[in-house]
Structure 1
Amino acid sequence: MVDTPLLSLEGVGKSFPNGTVALRGARLTVLPGSVHGLVGANGAGKSTMIKIIAGAHAPTSGTVRWKGEEVVWRDPGAARKAGVATIMQHVPLAPTLTVLENVFLGAPGPWRLPRARRREFDRLLRRVHYEIDPDAEVADLAIGERQMVAILQALAIGANLVVMDEPTASLAEGERQVVFDVVRRLSAQGTAFLYVSHFLDEVLSLTDRVTVLRDGTVVEEGPTAAYDEDRLVQAIVGRDLLAAERRAPAPVAADAPVALAVRNLSSPAGVRDVSFEVRRGEVVGIAGLLGSGRSEILHAVYGADSRARGEVLVDGRPVRRGPRAAVAAGMALVPEDRNAQGIVGAFPIWKNISLPDLASLSSARALPREAAEAERAERAIRDLGIVCPGPEALVTELSGGNAQKVVFGKWLYGGARVFMLDEPTAGVDVGAKADILDLVRRFAAEGGAVLVVSSEFEEILAVATRVLVVREGRIVAERPAHETSEEELLMLANGFGGAHDAA
């Protein structure tokens, strides 16, 4: 491997006009052809470092060197032109364009000519050993396929360094392996990667070196082989959180009242004759591979799928179709895409917290009382440990884990009795993950009922009392959480093993 760094950050600091200090004397060295891991808690400074590397932020102090030369990129276009491609967690593709059109957006070369584009596209596919329809519209692709389009787009501009921010946060295991294989193959060809992930097992298995950020400072760096998961966790948060994450849930009384009952629920979206119950104090996990229908079941239960048919009852009372009726009945949905569906980014924390229960915080249920809204927000910040300057802060200014806590806070103080959680810890760090899982346990312990979908079977087993396994829109098996394992759930989700009808 070449010893001359491809990218180096030396003593880099970043302060913002509001007084926030995001980076303090940070350093980073990425070698050509290497896969370098960057880990840290939400708010540690990872996003700021990525934005400096991508040219979106200028450092307040320190030096950035690219191929040995000091650089000051004025905008992302300059970094991109130099050979830095950044793939963010929410893949920024043009949904109405085809795969082919997206791959060559902004790419240099004679790619406006249809034949040249097709030839180059075929060459890129051979490089990554992947097949995808060039004429497919990106809006119709699965998340994993969009991730691959973004990688192809990076190759089309001739990127020497690909920065990947949480690339597998919403991917199933099979799709993750596809991404891993491509990263390994391209790094062997000389492309370097800066791999940012909260999945520490990925970092340990995929990267050559790792850098750990905490509170804007690099606290550790070295060859990945020198680390295990426990050491990484302790470096990230300064304390051991694995035991907290994996704490077994409390048992639920057999005669506990049924909070949520679902009967014969079906939908053209991929839900097929689904029936189950969730009792008060119970956390029921839905385990399935991407495309199994797990999230579709959640949205059908909540009434967000207008085509769904079947019966949903809360505390024995039928719930009319539609999210408004669901909320009125005491149901709350924490969606997978919190930015698009869970928060209003232009609103401060206090407005987001009060949104679902605004009527009860208003005079005559019509005139909002800002003092009452602010008081609730202060309570949520205190109860949930939301790290922020105060209730006036915009949710978009928060780290992923703290933004997710705001989404939880919206529902905790109103009439919600049934929580439905879709990938509640996607894209958050290990510290915030432990906090969120503890929130789930607390809500159930106080008599709430929880239905949770997660790509991480380990996470389901950490909080669930029962697990429903979903395949092709059906519940194919049911297991008590303490009597199963990640391996068995994976087998059942893939259609192997002794699955039995749970309905």
Structure 2
Amino acid sequence: MSVPILAGDALTKAFGGTLALQGAGLSLHSGEVCAIVGENGAGKSTLARILAGILAPDAGTIAVDGMPVRWRGRRDAAAAGIGFVPQSLSFVTTLSLVENHLIGGAGWRADRRKGARTLQESCGRLGVALPLDVPLGRLSLPQRQLAEIASAVAVGARVLLLDEPTSALGPAEVDGLVAALRRLAASGTAIGLVTHRITEVLNGADRVSVLRGGRPVFDGPAAGLIADRVAHLMVGAAVPPGRRPAAPRREVRLQAERIVLEEGGTPVLQDVSLAVQAGEIVGVAGVASASQAALADVLAGLRQPRAGRVLLGARNITGDPVAALRGGVAHVPEERAAGVVPDLSLAENASLLRTGEPAFARFGLRRVRAEHRQGDRIAREWDVRPNRSGLAAGALSGGNQQKLLLGRELDRKPAVIVVHGPTQGLDIAAAAAIRERLVEAASEGAAVVVISADLDEILAISHRVVVLAAGRIADIVPLLDGAPDMVRLGRAIGGARSGPRAGTEPPAAPVAAEEAV
């Protein structure tokens, strides 16, 4: 094989007393897509960040075109043609794609028109259409991920390192991105794809590199690999099958009535009504858009709709996050940065919502030992790695931040759980464990709303699928009895409404479980 454009060998990295990488290596060749897989905390992101010049290795070597290099920082790697797109997006949301691109590259004196043309060309190469002059905060999370990838492509990177770029994308968007990466590779770009999705590994990669516990356990061609083999390499054990909870109870726990929400005069939610019973899991599917995050925020009392109301039992929590929190609503946002405070420790994040309780404060003073006990317990029960209660949450990998966030929210035994993208960025074992936790919570009586770009996930654990399209409920498809009507589901996701009242679900009174679905 030809000399790799970028190669790392025997790379080791420790954070405090925790070894994140132990003798890991990776070679990226022109025209090749290499999938970098492993459990959360296996060292995938650490390896990618070392190769991109963001982290310095404690030991090991890096070479470009066969020549040893020592990165002094991210700029050195970028100057050598190494592009990197992080999982936690870095672009400024108040600026447009063009503005972010110019700031990250040539600065404000650069030719704006030329920058826009270059971005338009890179979007064409990726096969995506993105608004160039709209503030990124108005775009969906998948669009913002694609925007950062398009910018990296526009710079002309010879190597593109992508850290979980599809974690918030739906199946169709994933297929489109994988196809775009294949096109980039065909033009000579070397691509390192950090991913937890086995389908991407099997369909989109030429080669697979597997890390487990920071050590390399496999590096070889993707051809001939099957899903079970990849899963076993990643986790070293079989992943237990998932389950759906029993039929929900008679009590309507959460109810949204004719919600209307606008952003900058543009409708985001239009006449959306939804009722969720105790013990029920309702999955919200559809093409990823700002409407999904908006629905999660409204249900958790975080945003005030222009019309309509949200009821927690008989209590009105519309636009009142304090009432929602006190009433037992747990909320896990799509973006971890909105739920985890990176500068606070694992322990402080684990007890963040309980600082007013006597167990965690006395006479206005924090009980630090209680916080650390809470952090240690949640980290242990939710397999947060490394399990160090004093470690800053920002030092955890994205997947481990997600487990910390879910552990904190579900530890309160909430009456209602609203979770957006519960398993995005998680490996298959961790994702299976999270789904099982949500099923357990529903079995104990919680009303659960799961908003996810992963349709298979929704189909696996939900009682009903609510399809949100263009800010409206296009259809509500039952799942409890038999296989779902996939044609009907596909039509709804595509925006074609089904049923006499597909756009809304009328306000519900408490009904029998068999009537609710």
Return the TM-score normalized by structure 1. 0.91
Aligned residues: 496
Distance apart, 1:78 and its partner CA: 0.5
Deviates more, 1:107-116 or 1:62-71: 107-116
Q: Tell me the equivalent position of 2:11.
A: 12
Distance apart, 1:470 and its partner CA: 1.6
**Is the contact made by 1:166 and 1:197 (CA closer than 8 Å) also made in structure 2?**
yes
Q: Tell me the equivalent position of 1:261.
A: 255
Matches within 5 A, 1:1-80: 3-16=2-15, 18-80=16-78
Residue type matched to 1:425 in 2?
A: T
Distance apart, 1:152 and its partner CA: 3.5
**Is the contact made by 1:458 and 1:486 (CA closer than 8 Å) also made in structure 2?**
no
**Is the contact made by 1:111 and 1:117 (CA closer than 8 Å) also made in structure 2?**
no
Q: Does 1:343 align with 2:337?
A: no
Q: Tell me the equivalent position of 1:358.
A: 355
CA distance in 2, matches of 1:317, 1:68: 66
**Is the contact made by 1:425 and 1:436 (CA closer than 8 Å) also made in structure 2?**
yes
**Aligned with 2:238: secondary structure?**
coil
Give unpaired runs (5+ residues) of structure 2.
Answer: 507-517
Distance apart, 1:485 and its partner CA: 5.8
**Aligned with 2:223: secondary structure?**
helix
Q: Tell me the equivalent position of 2:246.
A: 251
Matches within 5 A, 1:259-298: 259-269=253-263, 270-291=268-289, 293-298=291-296
Distance apart, 1:449 and its partner CA: 1.5
CA distance in 2, matches of 1:133, 1:498: 31
Residue type matched to 1:263 in 2?
A: E
**Is the contact made by 1:348 and 1:394 (CA closer than 8 Å) also made in structure 2?**
yes
Shift in alpha-carbon separation, 1:208–1:487, aligned structure 2, 3 A: farther
Shift in alpha-carbon separation, 1:472–1:113, aligned structure 2, 3 A: closer
Q: Tell me the equivalent position of 2:512.
A: none
**Aligned with 1:262: secondary structure?**
strand
CA distance in 1, matches of 2:43, 2:306: 43
Distance apart, 1:84 and its partner CA: 0.3
CA distance in 2, matches of 1:125, 1:168: 16
Shift in alpha-carbon separation, 1:294–1:188, aligned structure 2, 3 A: same
Write out per-residue CA displacement over residues 258-282 of structure 1, whole angstroms, 9 at most, x where no aligned residue.
2212222222252222222222221
RMSD value over aligned CA atoms?
Answer: 2.6
Shift in alpha-carbon separation, 1:147–1:375, aligned structure 2, 3 A: closer
**Is the contact made by 1:292 and 1:470 (CA closer than 8 Å) also made in structure 2?**
no
**Is the contact made by 1:108 and 1:157 (CA closer than 8 Å) also made in structure 2?**
no
CA distance in 1, matches of 2:301, 2:174: 31
Q: Tell me the equivalent position of 1:166.
A: 164
Q: Tell me the equivalent position of 2:321.
A: 323
Distance apart, 1:135 and its partner CA: 3.6
Write out per-residue CA displacement over residues 310-343 of structure 1, whole angstroms, 9 at most, x where no aligned residue.
232223333353211111111111111112x111
Write out per-residue CA displacement over residues 46-86 of structure 1, whole angstroms, 9 at most, x where no aligned residue.
11111110112222222222101111111111011011000
Shift in alpha-carbon separation, 1:320–1:161, aligned structure 2, 3 A: closer
CA distance in 1, matches of 2:370, 2:35: 44
**Aligned with 1:359: secondary structure?**
coil
**Is the contact made by 2:127 and 2:176 (CA closer than 8 Å) also made in structure 1?**
no
**Is the contact made by 2:101 and 2:115 (CA closer than 8 Å) also made in structure 1?**
no
Q: Does 1:313 align with 2:311?
A: yes
Matches within 5 A, 1:284-433: 284-291=282-289, 293-339=291-337, 341-360=338-357, 361-362=359-360, 366-414=364-412, 416-433=414-431
Shift in alpha-carbon separation, 1:108–1:467, aligned structure 2, 3 A: closer
**Is the contact made by 1:265 and 1:274 (CA closer than 8 Å) also made in structure 2?**
yes
Percent identical among aligned pairs is: 33
Give 1:223's match in structure 2, choosing from 221, 224, 249: 221
Write out per-residue CA displacement over residues 221-279 of structure 1, whole angstroms, 9 at most, x where no aligned residue.
111112121111111001121x43xx2312225x5322212222222252222222222
Distance apart, 1:402 and its partner CA: 2.5
Shift in alpha-carbon separation, 1:157–1:272, aligned structure 2, 3 A: closer
CA distance in 1, matches of 2:474, 2:114: 48
Write out per-residue CA displacement over residues 163-184 of structure 1, whole angstroms, 9 at most, x where no aligned residue.
1111121223443344223212
CA distance in 2, matches of 1:466, 1:401: 27
Distance apart, 1:433 and its partner CA: 0.9
CA distance in 1, matches of 2:368, 2:124: 59
Residue type matched to 1:8 in 2?
A: A
**Is the contact made by 2:6 and 2:28 (CA closer than 8 Å) also made in structure 1?**
yes
Q: Does 1:489 align with 2:489?
A: yes
**Is the contact made by 1:287 and 1:489 (CA closer than 8 Å) also made in structure 2?**
no
Give unpaired runs (5+ residues) of structure 1.
Answer: none
**Is the contact made by 2:18 and 2:386 (CA closer than 8 Å) also made in structure 1?**
no
**Is the contact made by 1:292 and 1:471 (CA closer than 8 Å) also made in structure 2?**
no
**Aligned with 1:345: secondary structure?**
coil
Residue type matched to 2:348 in 1?
A: K
Distance apart, 1:365 and its partner CA: 7.6
Residue type matched to 1:401 in 2?
A: G
Residue type matched to 2:245 in 1?
A: A
**Aligned with 1:93: secondary structure?**
coil
Residue type matched to 1:30 in 2?
A: L
Shift in alpha-carbon separation, 1:224–1:372, aligned structure 2, 3 A: same
Q: Tell me the equivalent position of 2:514.
A: none
**Is the contact made by 2:102 and 2:108 (CA closer than 8 Å) also made in structure 1?**
no
Q: Tell me the equivalent position of 2:511.
A: none
Distance apart, 1:396 and its partner CA: 1.8
Write out per-residue CA displacement over residues 72-130 of structure 1, whole angstroms, 9 at most, x where no aligned residue.
11111101101100011133224344433433445479983456546655554554455
CA distance in 1, matches of 2:218, 2:109: 43
**Aligned with 2:180: secondary structure?**
helix
Q: Tell me the equivalent position of 1:151.
A: 149
CA distance in 2, matches of 1:405, 1:239: 20
**Is the contact made by 2:438 and 2:448 (CA closer than 8 Å) also made in structure 1?**
yes
Residue type matched to 1:75 in 2?
A: G
CA distance in 2, matches of 1:295, 1:127: 29
Residue type matched to 1:44 in 2?
A: A
Deviates more, 1:411-420 or 1:96-105: 96-105
**Aligned with 2:417: secondary structure?**
strand
Return the TM-score normalized by structure 2. 0.88
Shift in alpha-carbon separation, 1:364–1:480, aligned structure 2, 3 A: same
CA distance in 2, matches of 1:115, 1:374: 53
Deviates more, 1:124-133 or 1:209-218: 124-133
